Every structure is written in C-alpha cells, then in structure tokens.
C-alpha cells in the first residue's frame, strides 16, 4: 500500500476528534489490520524503544497513549 501524500493524509480528518469511550467498538477489525503488518516493520534497531507486539498493545489500559 503506498504512503499518503500530506494532502491525502489531511483529507482523512473530519470534524472535531473525540476520544472513544471505554465500551465503544472499533469501526473496523483492527487486529486483522495489525496482524497483516510485517514483523520487520516493528523492529526499531535500537534498545531505546520497546518492540511492539500484539501482547504489549493488548495489555495497555484503554485510553493510554503511547510514546513510540
């Protein structure tokens, strides 16, 4: 899948963004999308950032932002 241009990226934003509630269902199957990303895309090549994995994301409390 090609990367979006800046204009295409900005066009994906609608009105005001609001955080999802704790019980809201995602608008698409996120895990099938996540699982399709090659593992090599998550390799940072440094120990400064933790490696991302489904386990690390699933264990993160809802509404917690990431610093990666």
- Residue 63, pLDDT score: 52
- Residue 67, pLDDT score: 47
- Cβ proximity of 53 and 42 under 8 Å: yes
- Residue 8, pLDDT score: 92
Distances in Å between the Cα of 30 and the Cα atoms of 6, 45, 68 are 23, 25, 18
Residues of the chain below pLDDT 50: 47-48, 65, 67-68
- Residue 62, pLDDT score: 54
Separation of alpha carbons 52 and 45, rounded Å: 12
Alpha helices in the chain (DSSP H): 6-11, 30-35, 54-58
pTM of the predicted model as reported, rounded to 2 decimal places: 0.34
| pLDDT averaged over every residue in the chain | 74
- Residue 5, pLDDT score: 93
């Amino acid at each position: 899948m090609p990367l979006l241009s800046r204009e295409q990226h900005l066009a994906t934003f609608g009105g005001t963004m609001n955080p999802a509630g704790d019980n809201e269902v995602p608008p698409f199957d996120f895990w099938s999308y996540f699982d399709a990303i090659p593992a090599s895309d998550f390799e940072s090549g440094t120990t400064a950032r933790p490696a991302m994995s489904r386990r690390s994301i699933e264990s993160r409390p809802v509404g917690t932002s990431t610093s990666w």
